[in-house]
Structure 1
Amino acid sequence: MSEPPFNPSPYENPGGSPVPPQPPTYTPYPQQSTPSYPGYAQGGYPPQPSPYGAQLSPYQAQGNPYAPQPLAPFGVDPMTGLPYSDKSKLVAGLLQIFLGGLGIGRFYLGNAGIAILQIIVTFITFGFGALWPLIDGIVLLAGHPRDRAGRPLRP
């Protein structure tokens, strides 16, 4: 009798030891042509996705400056475009007017150096130096103050 021809299964190598099945190879996405954007052929760049991965709300897509944004949770100043601080202008001004001799309003804003100077001037002049924090509180309420990071205070 003759032996049947040797026909190894796909899971065995010719030596007879088992070989694990291999996953199929495929490309996950079909090849696509380069998308055409206005100005792309002339050296322009295609629009880039947001680096923060945030989806724009309909209000942000329309350019609403008051819409919440990922990097400006307290809103954006419509005049300058800078994000608002987490500190309030009203709170800072009232603390400075009523407790300014102790520098509380400036401590609230993160300006420890000015707060310590206000305390020293108030105690050296036996209380007459408290005029400086009072005027400073009025300026905080009437002006456009900024916090230690340079962001405008919330109205």
Structure 2
Amino acid sequence: MTTPQYQQPGGVSDKSKLVAGLLGIFLGSLGIGRFYMGHTRTGVLQLVASVFTCGIGGLWGFIDGIMILVNGGVDGQGRPLRDS
């Protein structure tokens, strides 16, 4: 049995920290950054919070995006996001 060709070594995610952070900053009110990372439940909660607060809930996604860029994060499988 062969291993997939695109598997990242050391248990690092194939998702980028930079992309996840920027998606969180610019599209955080829609939960797009969390959907990208594989955290569907959190993405839906960000979307619902933005809808019910007429967009004010988008601050959650904006702050979340900044925190991902500064501290990193993990994908839906618990693997750390890659730096590039």
Same topology, TM > 0.5: yes
Kindly provide the amino acid, as one letter, of the partner of residue 118 in structure 1: Q
Deviation of 1:123 (Å): 1.0
Larger radius of gyration: 1
Is residue 149 of structure 1 aligned with residue 77 of structure 2?
Answer: yes
Counterpart of 1:131 in structure 2 is 59
RMSD: 1.9
Counterpart of 1:75 in structure 2 is 9
Distance in 1 of aligned mates of 2:36 and 2:48: 18
Deviation string for 1:51-83 (max 9, x for gaps)?
A: x89xxxxxxxxxxxxxxxx6883233xxxxxx2
Deviation of 1:107 (Å): 0.5
Distance in 1 of aligned mates of 2:61 and 2:72: 17
Q: Using structure 2 for the length normalisation, give the TM-score.
A: 0.87
- % identical equivalent positions: 50
Q: Using structure 1 for the length normalisation, give the TM-score.
A: 0.49
Q: Secondary structure at the match of 1:117?
A: helix
- Any runs of at least 4 consecutive aligned residues in structure 1 with deviations exceeding 4 A, and if so which? none
Relative to total residues, which structure has the larger helix share, 1 or 2? Answer: 2
Q: Which has the higher relative contact order, 1 or 2, with Cα contacts under 8 A spaced 6 or more apart? A: 2
Distance in 2 of aligned mates of 1:140 and 1:124: 24
Is residue 95 of structure 1 aligned with residue 17 of structure 2?
Answer: no
Distance in 1 of aligned mates of 2:72 and 2:26: 20
Q: What residue ranges of structure 2 are gaps of 5+ in the alignment? A: none
How many pairs align? Answer: 82
Kindly provide the amino acid, as one letter, of the partner of residue 68 in structure 2: L
Kindly provide the amino acid, as one letter, of the partner of residue 75 in structure 1: P
Matches within 5 A, 1:1-155: 73-76=7-10, 83-155=11-83
